[in-house]
Amino acid sequence: MDKNFIIDLIENGGEISDSEQVDDSEYEEQVEEQAVEEQAEVGHKTRHKSLTNVTLSMLPPLPIPRHNKQRERNGGIIVVLLSIFFFVGTTHGLALEAFDGFEYHSTIWWVLFILIYSQAGLAILGLMAMLMVDPGAVPRSQQTCFPIPEQMTPALRDYLEHKGDGVRLFVPPGNNYLAALDRSGDTYCVRCLVWRRSKDGKHYHCNTCQRCVKDYDHHCSVFGRCIAGRLLSIQGNYTFFVSMCALFVTAFFTSFVAIVWSISNIYGPAWVVPIACLVILYFAVTTRLLVTGPMALCRTCRRR
C-alpha cells in the first residue's frame, strides 16, 4: 500500500473509497498476473532444464518405414537382370549368332559384341552401387539432434515421462518442420528429430522411408529406396539411377541397330523398314513389361 492510500484511509474513517477499491483490485490482478508469469517462467525454465539432460539414446526411435524394402529391392534386381538378359540375348544371341547377318568376328560384329557386354557390365555395377550407396539420409548424431527446439519440449517431456507405458511421441499432423529461430535457414524435422542444415543443401522427409534425405529426388518403389543426390556427384545414388536409365536406352538402341542391320544384310535393304517396324513393336511390348509395368507398381511414378 502506498503512503497516499493510507492518508486517504484515515481521512475517510477507515472506509475504502470506490475508486481505491477499483485500484486495489487492479493491483491484485496485476500481482496475480505477475505470479502466473513468474510461474510460467519457472515452469519453462524447469522444462528447458529437464531437456538439457536428454541424450541421443533417450530420444524416441525413428519412425517405422512404410514399405517392404527387402521385397522392393528384390523386384529392382529382377527388373535389371531381366533387362540385361533381354538386350544381351537379342544382340548377341539373335543378331550376332542366330540371324548370322554379320561376317563372323568382323569389326562391326566385335563393336556390337563389346558394346552390349560393356553396357551389361556397367548396369550390374550401377545396380550394385544403387543397392549399397546411402541415398543421403540425415543420421542422428550429437550435431544433428541438438539443441532440441523448445516447441518440441512438451511432446518430448510427455514421451520421456510415460514411455514405459508405451506412449509414443505425439507429432501434430501437418507440422513436419520447425524453422530455426536464428534465421540460419536450418529446419528441424519433428518426425526424425534431426536438424537439417541449410548449408548441406535441400532436404525432404520421405514419407515412405520415414527419413529426412538430402537432395531428395523421389522415392523409387522398384529399387525400394529414395533416389537422392546430384548428377555426377559421388554423394547419394542419383548419378547411378540416371546412369541405369541411360544404359537402358543405349542398350535398346544397340539391340535395335544389331537386329535391323543383321536382317537387312540377309534379306536386302528393301526389308529394312518393315523389319524396323516389327522390331519397334517387339521392343514396345517388352518395354511395357520391363519398364512401365514395374513403374505402375511404384507409388511415386504412379503419382506423376
79 contributes a contact to Zn ion by CB under 5 A: no
Within 208-237, which residues bind Zn ion (CB under 5 A)? 208-209, 212, 219, 226
Between 205 and 214, name the residue whose CB sits nearer to Zn ion.
205
Closest approach, Cβ 54 to Zn ion, in A, equals 18
In the complex, least distance from residue 239 CB atom to Zn ion, rounded to whole angstroms: 17
State the Cα–Cα distance between residues 243 and 127, nearest whole angstrom.
Answer: 10
According to the binding rule CB under 5 A, does residue 192 interact with Zn ion?
A: yes
Q: Does 191 bind Zn ion (CB under 5 A)?
A: yes
Position among 92, 205, 214, 218 found at the interface with Zn ion (CB under 5 A): 205
Task: Give the binding-site size for Zn ion (rule: CB under 5 A).
Answer: 10
Task: Answer yes or no: are the C-beta atoms of 194 and 188 closer than 8 Å.
Answer: yes
Residue corresponding to grid cell 522415392 = 219
Q: Which stretch binds Zn ion (CB under 5 A): 20-28, 29-37, 164-172, 207-215?
A: 207-215
For residues 144 and 188, what is the distance between their CA atoms, to the nearest angstrom?
Answer: 9
Q: Give me the least distance between CB of 192 and Zn ion, in Å please.
A: 3
Distance in angstroms (rounded) separating the CA atoms of residues 271 and 260: 9
By the 8 A CB rule, do 208 and 66 touch? yes
Cα separation, 192 vs 53, in Å, equals 19
**Nearest to Zn ion of 221, 255 (CB atom):** 221
Nearest to 188 by CA among 207, 212, 158, 208: 212
Enumerate binding residues for Zn ion (CB under 5 A): 189, 191-192, 205-206, 208-209, 212, 219, 226
